Amino acid sequence: MRTQTALLDRLVYDNPEVLLAPLRDTALLAKQAATLDQMSGGRLVLGLGVGGRDDDHQVTGIDMRIRGRRLDEQMAVMRRLWSGEPYGDDIGPIGPAPARPGGPEVLFGGFEPAAIERVGRWGDGFLAAAPPAWAGGLFGTARTCWKEYGRDGEPRNVAQVNVALGPDEVVQDARTNMHAYYAFTGMPGRMVAGLITTPAEIRDAIARFADLGADEVTLYCYGLDPHQVDRLADLV
């Protein structure tokens, strides 16, 4: 387990988020990820998930009911391509080769056991977009799945905290944005209530995630004010 000081050192610099892989062409996604991994010198962290919004799937023509199965199929193909193997009998390898052998580091986001199971089967770590009260159990599930697949060491566990730090107008902007985004859940007020907006709350959340064994914490800003980055850097 990393110390809280080591955890704080990574807060502002790594920012993995979830890309909805089932909405994208598999071979193209593999090529794009490998290209970014090459350009970044192997520093790409690719966050993947299936998504929960019906409208996302409607506009891309993907059946939402098969999104989990499709992601599993995509991972099998992408891992094969990242290893330099042919795409198929009549199609050779698709380059470029990623800088990191076997492909970029992959984190999976999600809440259901089937989603977290992918951490052990396909991934390198887990992204928990959940408060500390929930995240401990999710981290535990990820570690269990990791061991069940015979993986060495432990998965990289990353926490996400929704924050807004600044004047009242910055906080209100963040709340408005969150409410609009989560309206599809039918309970956007509950999500907005989880937004943390003071230095003390943010420090407390970081400390609680450190106690849970999180390797990193992502501070996710819903407000549009770019100066939040400086405020958060000063805070930690």
CATH of the domain at 103: 3.20.20.30
Task: Give the pLDDT score at 52.
Answer: 83
Determine contact, residues 70/48, Cβ cutoff 8 Å: no
Total domain count, the chain: 1
Q: CA–CA separation, 180 vs 97, rounded Å?
A: 40
Handedness of CA 110, 114, 120, 123 (dihedral sign): negative
Q: CA–CA separation, 31 vs 41, rounded Å?
A: 15
156: closest CA among 108, 117, 191?
A: 108
Task: Give the pLDDT score at 36.
Answer: 95
142-199 pLDDT, tens digit per residue, is 999 999 999 999 999 999 999 999 999 999 999 999 999 888 888 889 989 999 999 9
Structural domain harbouring 87: 4-235
Q: Per-residue confidence at 3, pLDDT binned at 50, 70, 90?
A: very low
Q: How many CB atoms lie within 10 A of CB 95?
A: 12
Q: What is the mean pLDDT of residues 66-81?
A: 95
Q: Per-residue confidence at 102, pLDDT binned at 50, 70, 90?
A: very high
Q: What is the mean pLDDT of residues 95-103?
A: 92
Strands 125-128 and 156-163, bridge-based pairing: parallel
Tokens 């107008």 -> residue: 169
Computed on alpha carbons and rounded to an integer, the radius of gyration of the chain in Å comes to 18
Determine contact, residues 81/102, Cβ cutoff 8 Å: no
Predicted confidence (pLDDT) at residue 31 exceeds the cutoff of 90: yes
Q: Taking the CA of residue 206 as centre, how many other CA atoms within 13 Å lie in the half-sphere pointing to its CB?
A: 26
CA–chain centroid gap for 179, Å, is: 21
Predicted confidence (pLDDT) at residue 13 exceeds the cutoff of 60: no
Question: What integer best gives the mean pLDDT of the chain?
Answer: 89
Task: Give the pLDDT score at 6.
Answer: 42
Per mean pLDDT, which range of 1-10, 16-25, 73-82, 163-172 is the poorest? 1-10
Per mean pLDDT, which range of 67-71, 127-131, 141-145 is the poorest? 127-131
Task: Give the pLDDT score at 8.
Answer: 34
